[in-house]
Structure 1
């Protein structure tokens, strides 16, 4: 309790420039004698706080005082403020009061330099409930159950020990120990359905678990793809590496991609705006798939 009061006294004096002992006593509901003892404790900690007598007197801090001046350089204090400002935007846990206090203590202006919004433009509430339930299960160490729709179309019932929430590549994932597969797995939140927190607890200590890398595909293939200029926004957004352009404005890029359903899903996501130039066997397979699609729309 005392340590908390000492910090609040320090912040109060910093914020106002000075304060009287009686003012602080009323503020923190203690005696004036207790306030003077607190001032002595603050001073003993190496913080230059002092009392002046007479008209205009009171309890003050040295004008050039900055919290932890001897421990943190100006650059380090600025880095702390930048990091906390970014964290405030990311986790939305209302640390604005903390930022305001540290800004005053460090004597650094808190610049509003970043804004992050993980919600989709649809402005739906899909993630809010699921995200909070997963967070709760991780903190309380409850096993959870859900149906999961894998990218290959398979639906499975999963029972997992939730470890961590991860935001990567524009999507949220649950990293968990899967009791079905008996290993750590990633689960994309948008593919989790019928999520339930069970009453069963787990005792494993996963605090220091290092997230394993995503599966490295062995069967990769390099495509040369032509894109119409109207698809340029996606090409530049999504494809790394060299992108060339012809006289008509069409774009050409090489894509290294798993040689499985991911390949066709990705190419077809461009509709008629993309054409695989090479290799020829992939062109032939795409043609076969297009013929099968046309068969479905004959009537």
Structure 2
């Protein structure tokens, strides 16, 4: 709706200062021409909005002007309360601050929005970690978060999976990421080096330096994490296996295997599905397809098929004595 969009322009300029018409159009997902028309409407309504020409120009509000409107609708109020996940906030040492902020937000809402937000919080609970995830050692998380926020360099002793396992690192932190209940710090080990990803629960010792660090102005944490995930999955699934799956076996796949099944699967006359699936390693593929039992048959690669046949013979011999 136009009224909602006009309010969004005011709030964006209030929060960010000067913005160009192109930047506003990108945020609002409208054309630049639409932004021009909206700005004219705001001028007509008396909003002290000014435009500056030139390379560093853009729209801005008169200094000191602030709207007291929040512009929240019912869905936005519900989303704010749903987004306030108490577990990660408590891990960062912000549990009480989150509760206080939610209390203030609730008190500021009109009665009808307050009722809907309360219903959302009562009926939905977000618990991101998996059932069998062990509790991570997060005693250093608040200090890492503080260093990220204040731009301070860290000295850490870090445990990694390969030899030598325990290493000393000087880390310039770019940001923190919470993925599937696990915290990661994105940091560069040397000035000017590409940032890498470190698990916070694998930090064994930590000292915060007074040395300051500011990430490059063009660094985008969310974009970096997306690229990291894409690279991870590309490295993870380096091989392929041609398999036949029963309908029950096919229903047991998820993630990359399920996507590959949908893309390459061909149903044969007996009802089984032939597909090419990504595999992480021979060892991992052996465990995966062995778990599917009689609902899967590996056709290629030959070494994987031979290893599964050998395991099957060993199992048959073991249970034949019963």
TM-score of the two chains, using structure 2 as the length reference: 0.50
Q: 1:102 to 1:73 in 2, by over 3 A?
A: closer
Taking the aligned partners of 2:164 and 2:281, their CA distance within structure 1 comes to: 18
Q: 1:265 to 1:120 in 2, by over 3 A?
A: same
Q: 1:184 to 1:174 in 2, by over 3 A?
A: same
Q: Which residue of 1 aligns with 2:215?
A: 206
Q: Which residue of 1 aligns with 2:125?
A: 115
Structure 2 gap ranges (5+): 1-66, 316-322
Q: 1:73 to 1:180 in 2, by over 3 A?
A: closer
Structure 1 gap ranges (5+): 1-66, 295-299
Q: 1:157 to 1:229 in 2, by over 3 A?
A: farther
Q: Which residue of the other structure, out of 298, 302, 311, is the alignment partner of 1:277?
A: 298
Contact in 2 for aligned 1:276/1:282 (Cα 8 Å): no
Taking the aligned partners of 1:210 and 1:284, their CA distance within structure 2 comes to: 44
Please state whether the residue corresponding to 1:100 is helix, strand or coil.
helix
Q: Which moved more, 1:134-143 or 1:240-249?
A: 240-249
Taking the aligned partners of 1:281 and 1:170, their CA distance within structure 2 comes to: 38
What do residues 53-79 of structure 1 show as CA deviations (whole Å, max 9, x unaligned)?
Answer: xxxxxxxxxxxxxx945x61635xx41
Q: Which residue of 2 aligns with 1:99?
A: 102
Please state whether the residue corresponding to 2:212 is helix, strand or coil.
coil
Q: CA deviation at 1:205?
A: 0.8
Contact in 2 for aligned 1:85/1:99 (Cα 8 Å): no
Q: CA deviation at 1:263?
A: 2.0
Taking the aligned partners of 1:267 and 1:119, their CA distance within structure 2 comes to: 25
Q: Which residue of 2 aligns with 1:182?
A: 193
Greater C-alpha Rg: 1
Taking the aligned partners of 1:114 and 1:161, their CA distance within structure 2 comes to: 38
Aligned-residue CA RMSD in angstroms?
4.5
Please state whether the residue corresponding to 1:157 is helix, strand or coil.
strand
Bigger strand fraction: 1
Contact in 1 for aligned 2:153/2:213 (Cα 8 Å): no
Taking the aligned partners of 1:154 and 1:253, their CA distance within structure 2 comes to: 40
TM-score of the two chains, using structure 1 as the length reference: 0.53
Q: For residues 1-299 of structure 1, what are the structure 2 equivalents within 5 Å? A: 68-69=68-69, 72=71, 74=73, 78-89=75-86, 90-92=88-90, 93-94=95-96, 95-107=98-110, 108=113, 109=115, 110=117, 111-112=120-121, 113-119=123-129, 121=131, 124-140=134-150, 141-150=152-161, 155=165, 157-159=167-169, 160-168=171-179, 171-179=182-190, 182-189=193-200, 192-193=202-203, 195-206=204-215, 209-211=219-221, 212=224, 213-214=227-228, 215=231, 217=234, 220-226=238-244, 235-236=253-254, 239-241=257-259, 242=261, 254-257=276-279, 262-270=280-288, 272-274=290-292, 277-281=298-302, 283=304, 286=307
Number of equivalenced pairs: 217
Contact in 2 for aligned 1:239/1:255 (Cα 8 Å): yes
